[in-house]
Amino acid sequence: MIRNIRITGFILIMILVIIGCTNKSNLVGTGENEGPEPESVIIGSEYFSSFHSFEDSLKNFNTDRTVIGNYEKYGTVNQAVSLIKFTSLPDSFYAIEDANLILSIKNKHNFDIIDNTTLKIGRIINENWYESTALWKEPTDSTSWSGDDFSLFDGDDFELIPDLVMTLEEDSLVIDIPEYLIENWIDADTLNFGLAFYTPDSDCFLEINSSENGNDDLKPFITYEYMEADTNTTFTTQTVYASHDITIFYTDDEYAAFPGQLILSDIQPIKMFIKFEVPDSIFIPVEIEDPELYMQRLTINKAELILYNSENNQYPAAGTIYIDPFIVTTDTVDLNYTDPYSPFMTSDDYEDLFISSSSDSLGTEEFKIDITKILQKLTAGEYEKYGIMLKSIYECRDFMHLEFETEPEIRIIFTPPFDFEE
């Protein structure tokens, strides 16, 4: 009996302890705290002193798409050629029939007709290339193409395959390819340099799902009927997925600058530099005698840079843009930049604070970019107010291009210090 009473008493004590813990005041919560309410302020265009857009270098990226297309902007031709290679082929064959290449279309712009007049395919000759390093100027990190650049003319790096039959079945493009291609790749696999794809048309592009796509049904692949030896009586169907694919983009190796403009572009990559003031006075009441202490205890809850879509030269007409902000860490940026052979800014001029990308539709009138962490660092005095740099996270991957009005603003929500006393 006594033992049961002790157990019951122990259980009651534990229940009281648990209740006491769960009813304890929330020290980090704000529901019952008495304190200043958050306030809002807008930094208007009058606080912005510099806008500067500038071209940067093209880079090599493996991504879930390859791009085929052209468009012209500011007198520069932006051209994308896709390279694809199939290497997982048999060691020998007796006969090959009915060869097809199947591409899955991810996106397209002004490419309503796909045939052998709008989409050109050729065999790459003489030059091996690596998916991890191929660029317009060089197929590997240590070799160049046959000419100074990748050539789309017969007899150099590229041999056009004429009169190909192409059939579009929903989002799948089926291309009848000559069997001799596969036969040559098997007979002399050391000369299997793959295929190149381009269009002679302007202001259009195709985005093709690449071998990096997680869905096998969307990857580029070839199918063919295969007989291994003359003793066989039937053909078997072979399916081979692309082993390598990459997009290479034309570059003139010059870096244009666009002072007084706000432009983002993926090919040729164009970044934006913006400089603005964040005066302490917009946060501080007039009667405060110790502004420095007040600013040290002020909390920036949220800060958004608002860019307004100019709807000028937007390319393509639809889609989504993703923007990353970086904080500028040097005051040596030359606003009178005139050297076309080096970028207006380099990675030494800004720092990544690892802020999540902001995204929205290309057609959105207001584009909001989260710069809360940047404003927190600036108002705390951890960084000088040298400005910010903004870039698309898909540079060198697609043909996105967008221009903004040069009247941005910054919307800030902040909380004054709690129980601030002089």
208 contacts 64 by C-beta, under 8 angstroms: no
Mean pLDDT of 89-107: 93
Q: Which of 222, 249, 276 is the last residue of a domain?
A: 249
* Structure-block tokens of residue 214: 């997680």
Q: Strand, helix or coil at 18? A: helix
Q: Element (H or E) spanning 198, and its range?
A: strand 195-198
Query: Which has more confidence, 113 or 10?
Result: 113
Confidence of residue 374 (pLDDT cuts 50, 70, 90): very high
Q: What is the mean pLDDT of residues 155-172?
A: 91
234, 272: one domain? no
Residue type, 365: E
Asked whether residue 15 is domain-assigned, the answer is no
Same domain, 133 and 233: yes
- Same domain? 410 vs 295: yes
Distance CA 235, CA 228 (A): 8
Task: For residues 81 and 200, state if they share a domain.
Answer: yes
- Residue 303 confidence (pLDDT): 98
Where residue 338 falls among pLDDT bands split at 50, 70, 90? Answer: confident
Predicted TM-score (pTM) of the model is: 0.82
How far is 357 from 364, CA to CA, in rounded Å?
16
Q: With cut-offs at 50, 70 and 90, classify the pLDDT of residue 288.
A: confident
Name the percent of the chain lying above pLDDT 70.
Answer: 91
Dist. CA 421–CA 294, nearest whole Å: 9
Retrieve residue 82's tokens: 């896709």
pLDDT at 107 over 70: yes
**Is residue 10 in some structural domain?**
no
| Band of pLDDT at residue 287, cut at 50, 70 and 90 | confident
**What pLDDT score was predicted for residue 15?**
44
List residues bridging with 415 in a β-sheet.
299
Residue 190 carries which DSSP code? Answer: G
Tell whether 226 and 357 lie within a shared domain: no
- Residue 289's contacts (CB-CB under 8 Å, 6 or more residues apart) are 422
Which residue carries 């704000």 as its tokens?
A: 30
- Cα 189 to Cα 91: distance, rounded to the nearest angstrom: 9
Residue 104 has pLDDT above 80, yes or no: yes
Q: What is the pLDDT, as a whole number, of residue 219?
A: 97
Query: Does residue 18 sit within a domain?
Result: no
Distance CA 193, CA 180 (A): 14
Least confident range from 97-111, 148-162, 198-212, 246-260: namely: 148-162
pLDDT tens readout for residues 203-216: 899 999 999 999 99
- Residue among 281, 314, 313 nearest 298 (CA): 281
Question: Are 227 and 275 within one domain?
Answer: no
Contact predicate 126/146, CB 8 Å: yes
Structure tokens at 211: 């071998």
Contacts of 74 (CB under 8 A, 6+ apart): 256, 258
pLDDT higher for 188 or 373?
Answer: 373
pLDDT of residue 153: 75
Position 12 in a domain:
no
Q: Which two structure tokens, joined as six digits, stand for 106?
A: 């991810």
Please, are residues 233 and 94 in contact by the beta-carbon 8 Å criterion? no
Span 112-161, pLDDT tens digits: 999 999 999 999 988 899 999 999 999 999 888 987 788 887 677 889 99
205: phi then psi, degrees, rounded to nearest 5: -155, 160
Q: Which of 166, 152, 157 shows the shortest CA–CA distance to 79? A: 152
Total structural domains within the chain: 2
Domain boundary pick from 249, 266, 299:
249
Residues 49, 75 within the same domain: no
Asked, for residue 217, whether it belongs to a domain, the answer is yes
Determine the residue type at 38: P
Asked if residue 376 has pLDDT above 90, the reply is: yes
Backbone angles phi, psi at 129, to 5 degrees: -140, 155
Q: What is the pLDDT of residues 340-369, one digit of tens each?
A: 888 899 999 999 999 999 999 888 889 999
For residue 12, pLDDT over 60 is answered with: no
**Residue 296: pLDDT band by 50, 70, 90 thresholds?**
confident
Same domain, 192 and 282: no
How many whole angstroms separate alpha carbon 177 and alpha carbon 121?
Answer: 10
Band of residue 86 on the pLDDT scale cut at 50, 70, 90: very high
Tokens 């007899």 map to which residue?
A: 155
pLDDT of residue 32: 54
Q: Is residue 26 part of a domain?
A: no
pLDDT in tens, 24-69: 333 333 445 577 899 999 999 999 999 999 999 888 888 999 999 9
Q: Read out DSSP for 138-176?
A: -SSSS---SSSS---SBTTTEEE--S-EEEEETTEEEEE
Pick the last residue of a domain from 249, 268, 284. Answer: 249
Residue 201, domain member (yes or no): yes
Are both 51 and 122 inside the same structural domain?
no
CA separation for the pair 403, 311 (Å, rounded): 7
Residue bearing tokens 């490419």: 111
Produce one character per residue of 263-273: b if its CB has 16 or more CB atoms within 10 Å, e if not.
Answer: bbbbbbbbbbb
| Residue 14 belongs to a domain | no
Is residue 239 domain-shared with residue 298, that is, in the same domain?
no
Strand partners, 100: 176, 223
Mean pLDDT over each residue of the chain, to the nearest integer: 87
pLDDT at position 230 is 75
Exposure on the CB side of residue 410, measured as CA atoms within 13 A? 24
Has residue 319 got a pLDDT over 90?
no
- Assigned token pair, 230: 């003359």
Task: Give the domain range for residue 359.
Answer: 39-57+254-415
Same domain, 172 and 242: yes
Domain co-membership, 151 together with 172: yes
Q: Work out the pLDDT band at 171, boundaries 50, 70, 90.
A: very high
